[in-house]
């Protein structure tokens, strides 16, 4: 996995989704992130990926002030413009401090669940010569599953790091990693992935 054609994608590790407090928006998800020690595990994998020289990219849900660039127009996403939520540059849209990007690591803003829709991510990965994607993020059955499906259909080899992920309930996470994701990706532990770097 240490080939130069491998990238680590960190998906939606944002304050609003992963933390409690004034900028938290999803307390049930934040509970699962904390219980599963997702951010700590992701930080360990991120450090190993950086040390191994992997290409690292961060993806986040973040909107422009008009919300016109939002690609998901389903009613569930109407709450974002109505509440002026997840604006690019806002504290809630920020990536959690323990996983903050460093120089040379791109941050891709998206306006929907799938990190490839309406973003330059696919073009960037192709330009970098990437063929294998290592994924982690929240929520497991949303952004991680969407990314794995899209990437697999686009010809990438996909690895999902199970303990870098969490969903709104243990059952939702477990269903994704045991039933859905194995159809599109190799599901591995952080220890296995770090050991292969």
Q: Going edge to edge, which strands form the sheet with 132-137? A: 107-110, 55-61, 6-11, 132-137, 157-161, 186-188
Tally DSSP H helices, then E strands, for the chain: 8, 6
pLDDT tens digits, residue range 133-170? 999 999 999 999 999 999 999 999 999 999 999 999 99
pTM of the predicted model, to two decimals?
0.95
Interval 53-57 mean pLDDT: 96
Weakest mean pLDDT among 17-21, 35-39, 75-79: 75-79
Residue 185 has pLDDT above 90, yes or no: yes
At residue 29 the predicted structure's pLDDT band, cuts being 50, 70 and 90, is very high
Residue 182: count of CB within 10 angstroms of its CB: 13
Which tokens belong to 136?
A: 């982690």
Residue-by-residue DSSP string for 62-102: -B-TT-TT----SGGGGHHHHTT-SBTTSTTTSBPGGG---
The predicted pLDDT at position 3 comes to: 66
Calculate the average pLDDT of the chain.
96
């Amino acid at each position: 996995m240490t080939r130069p054609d491998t990238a680590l994608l960190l998906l939606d590790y944002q304050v609003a989704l992963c933390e409690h407090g004034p900028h938290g928006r999803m307390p049930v998800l934040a509970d699962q992130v904390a219980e599963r020690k997702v951010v700590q595990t992701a930080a360990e994998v991120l450090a190993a990926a950086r040390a191994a020289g992997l290409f690292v990219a961060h993806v986040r849900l973040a909107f422009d002030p008009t919300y016109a660039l939002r690609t998901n127009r389903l009613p569930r996403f109407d709450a974002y413009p109505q509440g002026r939520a997840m604006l690019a540059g806002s504290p809630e849209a920020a990536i959690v401090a323990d996983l903050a990007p460093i120089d040379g690591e791109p941050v891709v803003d998206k306006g929907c669940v799938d990190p490839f829709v309406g973003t330059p991510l696919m073009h960037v990965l192709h330009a970098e010569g990437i063929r294998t994607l290592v994924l982690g993020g929240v929520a497991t059955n949303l952004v991680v599953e969407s990314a794995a499906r899209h990437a697999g259909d686009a010809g990438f080899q996909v690895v999902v790091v199970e303990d870098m992920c969490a969903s709104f309930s243990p059952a939702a996470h477990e269903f994704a990693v045991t039933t859905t994701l194995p159809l599109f990706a190799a599901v591995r532990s952080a220890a296995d992935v770090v050991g292969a770097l």
